[in-house]
A and B are shown apart, each in its own frame.
Chain A
Amino acid sequence: MLQIDLWKRLLIWGIVALGLLLALPNGFYNRVETYNDAAAAVERGANPSELQEELSLWPDWMPSGLVNLGLDLRGGAHLLAEVQVGDVYKARLEGMWPEVRDLLREERDRLGAIRLQDTENAELRVRMVERPEMAGEAAALVRGLARPVTSLTGAGATDIAVSSMGADVIVRLSEAEQRATDERTVRQALEIIRRRIDETGTREPTIQRQGAVRILIQVPGIGSAGELKALIGTTARLTFNPVVGRTSDPDADPGGRNVIYPSMDEEGTYYILEPTPVVTGEELTDAQPAFDQNGRPAVNFRFNPSGARKFGDYTAQNIGSPFAIVLDDEVISAPVIQDHIAGGSGIITGRFSVEESTQLAVLLRAGALPAELTFLEERTVGPELGQDSIDAGQTAALVALFAVLVLIILSYGLFGVFASVALLMNVFLIFGILSAIGATLTLPGIAGIVLTIGMAVDANVLVFERIREELKTAKGPARAIELGYEKALSAIVDANITTFIIAAILFTLGSGPVRGFAVTLGIGILTSVFTAIFVTRLLIVLWFERRRPKRIEV
């Protein structure tokens, strides 16, 4: 009757032992964390002998996976940013202008003179100044410039949509090209953000894409979201532009397509610049904080070969005239070229503090963001509050566990003891699985574990109650136990599947803390069913085999 094959017994004990083993490192959290940091450093090429002390804290044959602590427990900053993908359209179209212009000028005899119109929208608007009636034909010509979109979803589509309206030819990016551009922009932004945060050397930052154009950034241990914003929110587009003139009037007409930018240091001073930069920050290979000859903070930089050549040629030809170093539409400085600058390195001076020059160097090294970011959500949790939450959660969980154990032992006697053992295993299994899959534990996640402690006995209770009932009618305790398990099973399965559905929905709905709750709840359901059906049963069978009681009391 009450038989469990040997291999099943071994399997059950094996799973329980594995769970215990995987959960164990969490009992020595700080120790294992130090060890893991050291091990990661060695992996990156650090000298193992220097880290001997840290490495000896934990045996390397033991599992060393830990439950990650969420931001609400560890403290840190959380940001949800949206990439302004539309920014890029205009720049892309402007890049097409020379090509369009050359094409239409070739046909000047037929089309007459053309002029680019200023517009707020992401489009090129070309006016047929002399022959408005030729707009349709010109549009057809421009359409010939369209190239197929290089993306999976946009197969078969071309990159531009050309239309004519009155005397104007309007060039826009096609839907497919917009999507492809968005994709590239977001990926690039993700990469740049990752590089910038890596430069600061914080542990375990989370940088994730969310939906089409959003990026979620979580950095533990950082003081405030504002700090993080300053680091990743700056576009950091560096350009070197020829200076046309200086003015104190921000509304002055710069003339032609020139642009007017304010000076960063001198209030009320504006520079008129040529719009096309000589070189941009994309051609930098390195940037380091430094000090200029007067001992003021500055940033040293070096160009790549093509940037160095362009910069060298330009300085050689323009000795005596000023050029501007522009960062995000502000002129950092506009020195006069004293000499031909060969070799491709230079120094940016301005009124920096040491922190600012360090940050600027980081930003320049990591590269410019392809588009601006807006922040939709930000959260900062102080580390003390996180620690308080851990302590409170720990106390509550222990008290809850103790109270539940007392309650079931009082209610079910020896069988209650079996259920208690199973419940303890259950908690270890939850931690074991959380560590193994690298899940993140949040404060609601702790609540989920406590809730599971309360609910986990449910499956046991169902079985025990059923055994009690069967004892009244069935022949002998062995049969009653067997029937109890058999008949309680469908209720256990139905009840837990419905709860599991809810946990799954919560998981897809939630972000951060709520998701942490869903994870512990879901895992808790699985482990509680496992421990109730297999572990408790095995314990009962072992006891039964040894004692062979004539009658049992549940």
Chain B
Amino acid sequence: MRLKLVPANTAWDFFKYARLTFGASVIAMVLSFAIWLAMGLNFGIDFLGGTTIRTESAQSVDVGAYRDAIQALELGDVAISEVFDPTFGPDRNVAQIRIQAQEGEEAITPETIRAVQDALRAIDPEMEFPLVESVGPKVSGELVWTAILAVGASLAAILIYIWLRFEWQFSVGAVVALIHDVLLTIGIFSLFQIRFDLATIAALLTIVGYSINDTVVIFDRLRENLIKYKKKALRDVMNLSVNETLSRTVMTSGTTLVALIALLILGGDVIRGFVFAITWGVVVGTYSSVFVAKNIVLILGTKRDWSKPDAGAGTQFGNVDA
């Protein structure tokens, strides 16, 4: 008996509820954008500059007491949050303290860090500080630009690659789907105020990579079917292509999600934000491959005669032999 995530032969009409699905995507994008504008992102020190200190104590975390202890040092804005993880026992209480970048200092001085640690050790003399990170405003300003540049460069590179391998309508469809994924991820990070740092950008790019992977597989089948069925309506060819690749789409997303969920639960709190972004992105990315990318191609239309000049475009790697 085989496990079948998707029935063997599907002929579902993925455009039947196109208004609903595509509309939902548009609304989700607009909402994400609105939330992003309204609530902003909880930027980490990578982008804002400042210092984070992780504390570990056998006593339970008293955020108020921590705050009072640090406030006395007059370091400006201080954010304290308790960190939870299923692997922590009762005698392992972790908190994350963020201190804003100090006026006129590139990176925080060891004296300031020492002062903060001493103030906290007054609460619990056994307290440990396993992670201290400090980023100066100069570097953080540059990191913002590198991040924007990286996301932009990825989208541009994909736009060009898909354009070369397919048609421009496909590349627009793919990139719109990617923007959809990126926006929705930014939206959820903004909604739950999850820390947004350089690792999140790496996660965003990974989502872009995963989602494009998914989209390309469907596009590849679509191109093949367009050559095969010259007279069939574009919409039907698209439906056929999605149905034919559906079992693969679900299977690959399934294995990836299984792996990611294991990491999300067991991988520790240090990378939880990063893993969460990728997990969310895989779900959104799979959805957008099926419900967004091809809809754009349908709206834009595409050439129907794929047989003529570059019929070999899709099979030029086909003669690679094992």
Given contact pairs A400-B262, A450-B263, A498-B161, A462 touches B248 in the complex (Cβ within 8 A): yes
Residues of B within 8 A of A453 (CB): 259
Query: Which of B134, B198, B262 sits near A396, CB closer than 8 Å?
Result: B262
Of the listed stretches A164-172, A265-273, A360-368, A371-379, name the one at the interface; the rest are far from the partner chain.
A371-379
Contact A491 B217 (CB under 8 A): yes
Given contact pairs A382-B131, A447-B271, A494-B220, A80 touches B258 in the complex (Cβ within 8 A): no
Residues of B within 8 A of A388 (CB): 268
Contact B135 A513 (CB under 8 A): no
Given contact pairs A443-B270, A444-B199, A447-B271, A506 touches B317 in the complex (Cβ within 8 A): no
Contact B267 A447 (CB under 8 A): yes
Bound Cα distance A384, B4 (Å): 44
Q: Which residue of A lies closest to B166 (CB)?
A: A494
Query: Which of A80, A411, A447 sits near B275, CB closer than 8 Å?
Result: A447
User: What's the nearest-Cβ distance from chain A to residue B321, in Å?
Assistant: 9
Contact A496 B213 (CB under 8 A): yes
The CB with the most chain B CB atoms within 10 A, among A229, A395, A495, is that of A495
Contact A465 B248 (CB under 8 A): yes
Given contact pairs A385-B131, A443-B270, A506 touches B260 in the complex (Cβ within 8 A): no
Bound Cα distance A118, B110 (Å): 35
Contact with A along B277-290 (1 / 0, CB 8 A): 01000000000000
Instruction: Decide if B149 is an interface residue (CB 8 Å cutoff).
Output: yes
Given contact pairs A225-B132, A378-B133, A461-B248, A454 touches B322 in the complex (Cβ within 8 A): no
Query: Which of B113, B114, B216 sits near A495, CB closer than 8 Å?
Result: B216
Bound Cα distance A20, B52 (Å): 40
For chain A residues 1-15, which have a beta carbon within 8 Å of chain B? Answer: 4, 8
User: What's the nearest-Cβ distance from chain A to residue B298, in Å?
Assistant: 20
Bound Cα distance A225, B109 (Å): 10
User: What's the nearest-Cβ distance from chain A to residue B248, in Å?
Assistant: 4
Given contact pairs A382-B129, A501-B157, A450 touches B202 in the complex (Cβ within 8 A): no
Contact B322 A379 (CB under 8 A): no
Bound Cα distance A381, B318 (Å): 49
Residues of A within 8 A of B54 (CB): 385
Given contact pairs A80-B139, A389-B270, A496-B213, A408 touches B220 in the complex (Cβ within 8 A): no
Contact B202 A517 (CB under 8 A): yes
Bound Cα distance A51, B292 (Å): 64
Instruction: Decide if A69 is an interface residue (CB 8 Å cutoff).
Output: no
Contact B114 A226 (CB under 8 A): yes
Given contact pairs A224-B110, A495-B216, A4 touches B134 in the complex (Cβ within 8 A): no
Residues of A within 8 A of B219 (CB): 494
Instruction: Decide if B75 is an interface residue (CB 8 Å cutoff).
Output: no
Given contact pairs A411-B251, A499-B213, A377 touches B135 in the complex (Cβ within 8 A): yes
Q: Which residue of A lies closest to B322 (CB)?
A: A537
Q: Which residue of B lies closest to A553 (CB)?
A: B2
Contact with A along B121-145 (1 / 0, CB 8 A): 0000000111111111011000000
Contact B317 A490 (CB under 8 A): yes
Bound Cα distance A269, B165 (Å): 77
Bound Cα distance A446, B320 (Å): 32
Query: Which of B3, B129, B157 sits near A411, CB closer than 8 Å?
Result: B3
Contact A447 B274 (CB under 8 A): yes
Given contact pairs A447-B274, A489-B320, A502-B208, A379 touches B259 in the complex (Cβ within 8 A): no
Q: Which residue of A lies closest to B94 (CB)?
A: A385
Contact B149 A509 (CB under 8 A): yes
Bound Cα distance A495, B219 (Å): 10
Q: Which residue of B lies closest to A525 (CB)?
A: B209
User: What's the nearest-Cβ distance from chain B to residue A439, in Å?
Assistant: 16
Residues of B within 8 A of A116 (CB): none
Q: Which residue of B lies closest to A463 (CB)?
A: B248
User: What's the nearest-Cβ distance from chain A to residue B78, in Å?
Assistant: 19
Instruction: Decide if B235 is an interface residue (CB 8 Å cutoff).
Output: no
Residues of A within 8 A of B87 (CB): 392
Given contact pairs A374-B106, A451-B259, A381 touches B130 in the complex (Cβ within 8 A): yes
Contact B258 A393 (CB under 8 A): no
Bound Cα distance A394, B278 (Å): 19
Given contact pairs A4-B322, A447-B271, A521-B206, A379 touches B220 in the complex (Cβ within 8 A): no
Residues of A within 8 A of B130 (CB): 381-382, 384-385
Q: Is chain A's interface secondary structure helix, strand, loop, or mixed overall?
A: helix
Instruction: Decide if A301 is an interface residue (CB 8 Å cutoff).
Output: no
For chain A residues 207-241, which have a beta carbon within 8 Å of chain B? Answer: 224-226, 229-230
Query: Which of B134, B146, B255 sits near A379, CB closer than 8 Å?
Result: B134
Residues of B within 8 A of A499 (CB): 209-210, 212-213
Bound Cα distance A92, B255 (Å): 63
The CB with the most chain B CB atoms within 10 A, among A72, A413, A469, A505, is that of A505
Bound Cα distance A468, B219 (Å): 20
Instruction: Decide if A533 is an interface residue (CB 8 Å cutoff).
Output: yes
Instruction: Decide if B60 is an interface residue (CB 8 Å cutoff).
Output: no
Bound Cα distance A333, B247 (Å): 81
Bound Cα distance A499, B256 (Å): 14
Contact A450 B262 (CB under 8 A): yes
Contact B216 A399 (CB under 8 A): no
Instruction: Decide if A538 is an interface residue (CB 8 Å cutoff).
Output: yes
Contact with A along B239-253 (1 / 0, CB 8 A): 000001101100110
Contact with A along B195-237 (1 / 0, CB 8 A): 0001101100110111011101101110010000000000000
Bound Cα distance A443, B208 (Å): 21
Report which A residues bind B (CB closer than 8 A): 4, 8, 72, 80, 82, 224-226, 229-230, 374-382, 384-385, 388-389, 392-393, 395-397, 399-401, 403-404, 407-408, 410-413, 443-444, 446-447, 450-451, 453-455, 457-458, 461-462, 465, 468-469, 485-487, 489-491, 493-499, 501-503, 505-506, 508-510, 513-514, 517-518, 521, 533-534, 537-538, 553
Question: What are 16 A-B contacts defined by CB distance under 8 Å?
Answer: A4-B322, A72-B270, A80-B139, A376-B138, A384-B130, A400-B258, A443-B268, A447-B271, A447-B274, A457-B251, A498-B209, A501-B209, A509-B150, A510-B198, A514-B199, A514-B201
Given A8-B322, A375-B106, A506-B150, output 15 extra A-B contacts at Cβ < 8 Å: A225-B132, A230-B110, A377-B139, A379-B133, A384-B130, A407-B258, A444-B199, A465-B248, A490-B315, A497-B161, A499-B210, A502-B209, A506-B202, A533-B320, A533-B322
